[in-house]
């Protein structure tokens, strides 16, 4: 947000945004250092130097802070690597494999990641748009759509289905495929499940 945009935002809204950002920063730090289960809303409030009521006002449950944390890991660790990889013009399946593997290595290795997937499953059922929760602050669906769009340009992704629908189909399949594994703490099987998904998409996308 530049200075001109800042001046347009009322002071009350700027203060609200600062409080939310501080709560998230503290929660993310605690998730990293002591773990999700050991982090309490009281501890978040104390470290953020705000009241417990204020924390619950913006984040009704601890799990509502977990998904933003997971998105941050994705944006910081995964997204830049995938964008660089796309510059090498890989096939669509190789690009999806790269994306899903990096998510596993950089995000899903974090303990208790299944908590976020419970929320993620619900978010992905929404129609694809810039305001969808799964896409907000992460651009995850945008990345899937970018990969599929590149595939259409290269001729290895079908054009008889709208790109946005293909994006939603692939994302829903991915979420449903791995969420149960993560909730059951069976993440070692993740890469095998991804291979199965990619084999299915081989015929579904072409």
Per-residue pLDDT in tens (0 to 9) along the chain, 206 residues? 555 555 577 888 888 999 999 999 999 999 889 888 889 999 999 999 999 999 999 998 887 888 788 888 899 999 999 999 999 999 999 999 999 999 988 887 766 666 655 555 555 444 444 444 667 778 899 999 999 999 999 999 999 999 999 999 999 898 888 777 766 665 668 888 899 999 999 999 98
Q: Where in the chain is the domain with CATH 1.10.10.60?
A: 3-58
Given CATH 3.40.30.120, say whether it is the number of domain 63-205.
no
pLDDT value at position 62? 85
pLDDT at residue 12, as a whole number: 85
Which pair of structure tokens corresponds to residue 79? 């997204």
Residues of the chain with CATH 1.10.357.10: 63-205
Task: Quote the tokens at residue 173.
Answer: 């399949």
b/e 168-199 (16+ beta carbons within 10 angstroms → b): bbbbeebbebbbebbeeeebeebeebbeebbe
Amino acid 106: pLDDT: 86
Distance CA(113)–CA(180), nearest Å, equals: 11
Close Cβ partners of 143 (under 8 Å, ≥ 6 residues apart): 79, 82, 99
pTM here is: 0.76
Cβ-count burial of 152 within 10 angstroms (0-12 exposed, 13-18 middle, 19+ buried)? Answer: middle
Domain 3-58 has CATH 1.10.10.60: yes
**CB 31, CB 41: distance < 8 Å:** no
The single residue listed with the structure tokens 């590149």 is 150
- Which pLDDT does position 128 carry in this prediction? 43
pLDDT at 83 (0 to 100): 94
Tokens of 200: 């299915």
CA 109 to chain centre: 14
Res 4: pLDDT = 53
pLDDT at position 22 is 95
């Amino acid at each position: 947000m530049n200075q001109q945009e800042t001046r347009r935002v009322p002071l009350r809204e700027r203060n609200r945004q600062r409080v939310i950002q501080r709560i998230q920063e503290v929660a993310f730090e605690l998730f990293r250092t002591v773990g999700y289960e050991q982090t309490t809303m009281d501890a978040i409030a104390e470290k953020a130097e705000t009241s417990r009521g204020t924390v619950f006002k913006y984040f009704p449950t601890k799990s509502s802070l977990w998904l933003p944390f997971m998105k941050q890991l994705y944006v910081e660790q995964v997204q830049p690597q995938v964008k660089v990889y796309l510059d090498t013009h890989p096939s669509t399946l190789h690009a999806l494999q790269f994306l899903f593997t990096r998510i596993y290595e950089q995000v899903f290795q974090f303990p208790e990641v299944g908590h976020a997937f419970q929320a993620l499953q619900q978010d992905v059922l929404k129609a694809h748009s810039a305001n969808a929760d799964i896409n907000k602050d992460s651009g995850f669906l945008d990345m899937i759509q970018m990969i599929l769009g590149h595939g259409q340009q290269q001729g290895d992704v079908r054009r008889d289905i709208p790109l946005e629908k293909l994006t939603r189909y692939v994302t829903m399949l991915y979420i449903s495929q791995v969420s149960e594994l993560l909730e059951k703490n069976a993440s070692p099987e993740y890469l095998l499940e991804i291979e199965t998904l990619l084999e299915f998409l081989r015929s579904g996308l072409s």
